Structure formats: structure tokens, C-alpha cells
Amino acid sequence: MTEIEFIEELKQKSTMAFSKLLDDFQQKVFSTCISFLPNKEDAEDIAQEVFIEVFNSIDKFRGNSKLSTWIYRITTNKCLEFIRKKNTKKRFAFLQSISGTAIPFDKTNYFTEINHPGIQLENKELNITLFKAINSLPESQRVVFTLHKVDGKSYQEITEITDRSLSSVEFVMFRAKKNLQNKLEYYYKNEH
């Protein structure tokens, strides 16, 4: 079955086509989610949301890119949306704690919840520091860096996922590496 035929089957809401979609993409989507979200349960939840979104919006798929690129774009956007919501909740809770409102406030940083099966570093503190540094990058840099260095996507795949030019992706990656280097240098000078 060609990709065009497969997409038509998906648009017809074929259960066999969606089963094949899950078989083909479930692990890939989860791997991308875990690259952005170091907590396994959150990554699983977002991966489920991705497939719900694909199911609900397959009729909107125009075929301007490959199906896999479209799915990765949805995955990346869902992960970023989750991170934004999490950070907004933390800021709101912090403001409430300052104003004296008696709402329980979790002072832990989301990115200290390291439960990432893909990273086998001996030092958990290094994991935490690295995820905090990546999380502190501007969003465009975080996306490009994570897709390339953590998820293993080529620059060409990233251009398709992010809808940027190749030179733009390369420049954003250069800035991300430079910013991470500066952040990690600062951390190690001040902490060690």
C-alpha cells in the first residue's frame, strides 16, 4: 500500500489503518516525547494525545509533507504545549505564594523528575543540570537541539518538522549549542 492509499484509509477511519499507524509510529512518537519530557508517564500521556490529534485531524492533512513529518510536527507541538502549561502553572503558583494565598505550592522543578530511560549517565545531578539547561533555551533553540541531539533527527528532517529553511535550522542549532555551552560553563564555575 502506498502512502497516499494509506492516508486515504486513515481518512476513511479504517481501524486497520489506525492499527498500522500505531504499529509504525507508536515507539517513534514516544521516543520524541521522552526527548522533550524527562518523565515517562507524561511522555506516554502526550504520545496518546498525539494519536488522538492525528485521528481527529487526518482530514486536514494536505499532503504537503510526508505523513511522518506531519506526525512529528504534531508531537513536537504537543510537547511544547505541555511544557508551556507546566511552566505557566508554576509561575501562577509562585505568584499565589508571594501574595499569601494559601494554595499548596510544589517548589520542585518539573525537569528534576528524571525518569528518562534513554539517558544512562552515572550522575543524576548531571542529568538534572542538562535538562534544566536545555529547558532554559529559547523555544526555537530547544526544539532544534532536542530534535537533533536527543532525538537523532537530521537537519533536513528538522526543516520539514519545523517548517524552517536549512540555513535557519543550522543557525538556530549553532545558537543553541553556544547558549548551552555558556549555561553549563556558568553552572560548573559557580557550583564546583
> pLDDT per residue over 118-166, tens digit each?
544 445 566 677 778 888 889 899 999 988 887 888 999 899 888 899 9
SS (H, E, C) 96-152: HHHHCCCCCCCCCCHHHCCECCCCCCCCHHHHHHHHHHHHCCCHHHHHHHHHHHHCC
Distance, in Å, from the CA atom of 161 to the CA atom of 143, rounded to the nearest integer, reads 10
Kindly state whether residues 40 and 129 are assigned to the same domain. Answer: no
pTM, two decimal places: 0.65
Q: At which of 54, 89, 114 does a domain end?
A: 114
Kindly state whether residues 105 and 167 are assigned to the same domain. Answer: no
Q: The domain that contains 167 carries what CATH number?
A: 1.10.10.10
Residue 131 in grid coordinates:
535538562
Q: How many domains, the chain? A: 2
Kindly state whether residues 91 and 124 are assigned to the same domain. Answer: no
The 10s digit of each residue's pLDDT in 36-84 is 887 889 999 999 999 999 999 999 998 888 999 999 999 999 998 998 8
Kindly state whether residues 1 and 20 are assigned to the same domain. Answer: yes
Q: The domain that contains 90 carries what CATH number?
A: 1.10.1740.10
Q: Considering only CA atoms, which of 38, 32, 42, 113 is closest in space to residue 77?
A: 32
The backbone torsions φ and ψ at residue 102, rounded to the nearest 5 degrees and listed phi first, read -85, 70
The domain of 190 spans 119-192
The 10s digit of each residue's pLDDT in 2-17 is 888 999 999 999 999 9
Residues, the chain: 192
Q: Considering only CA atoms, which of 127, 138, 147 is closest in space to residue 176?
A: 138
Place of cell 540555513: 167
Kindly state whether residues 80 and 40 are assigned to the same domain. Answer: yes
